[in-house]
Amino acid sequence: MPAEKTICPGCGLELESTETGLDDRFNASCACRRLYDELSCFTLNQADAEFTHQLIVDAYCAQHAGPKVKTISIAFSLIGLYLVFERDYTGRQVQLAHMALAKQSKQWHRFNPPPMTGTLTVSNVLNSINGENYRKNIHDWAGSVWTAWASTHTQVAELAKRYLKLD
């Protein structure tokens, strides 16, 4: 099967791929999801104390939010990004916060994605990794996603403060 141009509905990334379908879990092309899986393998193999992997999980989910994506996934991702960019949490601390949130039985608000979900994509991160710069590249990507969701920042902060008992 020849490669065809695919456009990811979540981030707008254009890729040549033999996989032209959409991912079942995210509002993403299968080709874009494959890049995310590749970055996931990379970050998990780094075994860094800050657990940078959590930031890619939250950035990718928030960037690929859509009607089929679970409300809990989007809410947790946005709360994770809030904790990193507004409260200086590490990925490990965000992971623990997600565990605390998961223990609470709650119907989560559906956050509708903004028209543009960031200026960078998973592809930008993968294509620019050399040595230890991956943390900065991931941070920049996740920051662009968090910035794109600016209209929700107050509501996300209120949720985090309420359910995580933050000051």
Q: Say if residue 19 is exposed, middle or buried (CB neighbours under 10 Å; 0-12, 13-18, 19+).
A: middle
Residue-number span of the structural domain to which 120 is assigned: 30-164
Cα 61 to Cα 46, 79, 80, 105, 158, distances in angstroms: 21, 12, 11, 21, 20
Indicate the number of domains in the chain.
Answer: 1
Residue 37: helix, strand or coil by DSSP? helix
| pLDDT at residue number 1 | 65
State pLDDT tens for residues 92-124.
999 999 999 999 867 898 999 999 999 999 999
Sign of the CA dihedral 97, 67, 10, 118?
Answer: negative
pLDDT < 70: residue spans in the chain: 1, 105
Report if residue 18 sits inside a domain: no
pTM of the full structure: 0.95
Q: What is the pLDDT of residue 132?
A: 77
